A and B are shown apart, each in its own frame.
Chain A
Amino acid sequence: MLSSLDPRIARLALPDTAPAPTPKAAFDQFETFEVFHQKKDGAAYTYVGPVHAPSADVAFLFAKEQYSRRFACTGMWVVPTSAINLTPYVGDQESVYDGVSAIVPTADAPAEPQEYAIFHLKKRGKAHTNVGLVRAASAADALYQAKLTFGEQRPVVNVWVLPWNEVLTLDPADRDIWLTTPEKKYRDAIAYKVQDRIERFKLETGTK
């Protein structure tokens, strides 16, 4: 049995050796969701990162804990990665929209227009930021509509198109999930002030 200095580990009575682990099955770690935060009322939603989760609701909880346990936000959006349409990336001085043209109508009956949230990346290495919503018949059409509405902005290195009906948003009534965040001062560097103690020590020991 494995011995440990940690009583909690000793209690697990783990074996000394174990056979090689079987490789994990696909989706053992679930699918991914992308998370966007709003830092202040009226500010644009900005990409903060992904989470792995079995459902949008669980993704929402993980996202709150992973990306906002230190700083209170005013809003949060969570979207399955698979629902996002993205363009190729261009250079830092260019615009993705230069390569976007109107959708050629097909013989099929046009789909009912729906809303899409449009995100721009202004510089490689930075985060995608929401510029607004468009109404369009498809994700490809939404990109063209975005060009008409936001195409003047430059540079636009990359665009994400999110079907609005796939976005899980925070109900404003639930904003109190961040109510206690500012109370947890022990999580912040600023709560630790040691210089006084060091100076006192130096005086006492005559090293100052």
Chain B
Amino acid sequence: MYGSVSTHDIPAQATTGLENEDPQQLAEFEARIARGEKIEPDDYMPALYRKQLIRMIEQHAHSEIIGSLPEGTWITRAPGFRRKMAQMAKVQDEVGHAQLLYSAAETLGKSREDMLTDLINGKSKYSNVFNYPTPTWADSNAISWLIDAGAIVNQMANARGSYGPYCRALERICAEESFHLKYGHDAVVHMATGTPIQRRMMQEALNRWWPPIMTFFGPADKASQHTEILMRWKVKMASNDDCRQQFLDMYVPKILEIGLTIPDPNLRKNEETGKWEYTEPDWEELRRVINGDGPCNQERLAVRRAAEENGAWVRRALQAKRQAPKAVRPLA
């Protein structure tokens, strides 16, 4: 699962950040991407490319690992054995995705140790939607279906990007997300077409999750020199607004057909422009929650930290008897 994490991913600087790059190497790098070839770990790459990819892939990895918490909460209380197993399989997938993504980021030169530390100390961010709670089983279903649906829109776009290891990881991730999407849809349909109490639960969960979902892709991109460069380098593959429009196109009809209503009176498709119109999401709240003041920020990081600290003795025990380790950077 993944979303556009931060409102200020790309610093609005006057400089391009390319002053220190060798012009010939840069031209060859750009020509390779323009030909449709992927960049591999040992290739020359501009510092800005490396930095932006590390940030993106690392945030994606953190989103997977933190994103498994609000659904993991419901494993023991999922209704029925089959749903418990399926919920567990989904949570295992999300944690597995984090492993794949941490490795992809490692090939760019940031160690897994540093990424894990930066998550816990708050230096690195993760998708903001996971700072909201899942008070009922229906909330967990809303995440399984709609947050994963949003994530797939994002990930399918990124899978066409230029960095080989990230593409390989995303290919694997997207294949598993197709199960999440179907599983989540099944769970939501079950609730929405069930008893009046189940329907009400599902509607209330959707009401709670709609505002975070609308902020999931981030605010409209500011036109900046960086955005243009990162699009040319196939780091950023689609604008935040395009992702949001694509999500609404695909999922609004599916939500409405099962008798749920969307808690936005202004939501409608403008037939002339072909674009969805909606109440502008509360970007001020997004900014506030990203910076730590959300309902679950503290809990998410505390739980991650506890897992790290409680597992430390196991890692120490495993380290005690082995030979000196050598490589810590995966090859691809």
Q: Which B244-299 residues have a C-beta within 8 angstroms of A?
A: 257-259, 298-299
The CA of A24 and the CA of B117, in the complex, are separated in Å by: 7
The CA of A92 and the CA of B39, in the complex, are separated in Å by: 11
Cβ-defined contact, A27 with B331, below 8 A: no
The interface residues of chain A, by DSSP majority, are classed as loop
Q: Which A7-34 residues have a C-beta within 8 angstroms of B?
A: 8-9, 12, 14-16, 18, 20-21, 23-32, 34
The answer, yes or no, to whether A171 is at the interface (CB within 8 Å) is: no
- Contact partners of A47 in chain B: CB under 8 A: 332
How many inter-chain residue pairs (CB < 8 Å) link A and B?
Answer: 184
Q: Which B1-40 residues have a C-beta within 8 angstroms of A?
A: 32, 35, 37-40
Nearest CB of A to B280, in Å? 30
Cβ-defined contact, B113 with A24, below 8 A: yes
> Which of B43, B86, B135, B327 contacts A82 (CB under 8 A)?
B327
The answer, yes or no, to whether A202 is at the interface (CB within 8 Å) is: yes
Cβ-defined contact, B82 with A30, below 8 A: no
- Contact partners of A69 in chain B: CB under 8 A: 92, 96
Cβ-defined contact, A188 with B113, below 8 A: no
Cβ-defined contact, B121 with A21, below 8 A: yes
> Which of B40, B120, B193 contacts A201 (CB under 8 A)?
B193
- Contact partners of B86 in chain A: CB under 8 A: 186-187
The CA of A75 and the CA of B299, in the complex, are separated in Å by: 42
Cβ-defined contact, A184 with B193, below 8 A: no
Cβ-defined contact, A207 with B315, below 8 A: no
The CA of A66 and the CA of B172, in the complex, are separated in Å by: 11
The CA of A20 and the CA of B32, in the complex, are separated in Å by: 43
Q: What are the 4 closest A-B residue pairs judged by CB atoms, nearest first?
A: A50-B330, A125-B38, A82-B326, A24-B113
Known: A50-B332, A194-B189. 16 other contacts (CB 8 A): A2-B298, A5-B73, A14-B299, A29-B112, A30-B325, A31-B325, A32-B329, A66-B99, A80-B327, A82-B326, A86-B42, A184-B85, A194-B185, A201-B193, A201-B259, A207-B257
Which A residues have a C-beta under 8 Å from some C-beta of B?
2, 4-6, 8-9, 12, 14-16, 18, 20-21, 23-32, 34, 47, 49-52, 54-55, 58, 65-66, 69-70, 80-82, 84, 86, 88-89, 91-92, 124-128, 158, 160, 184, 186-194, 197-198, 200-202, 205, 207
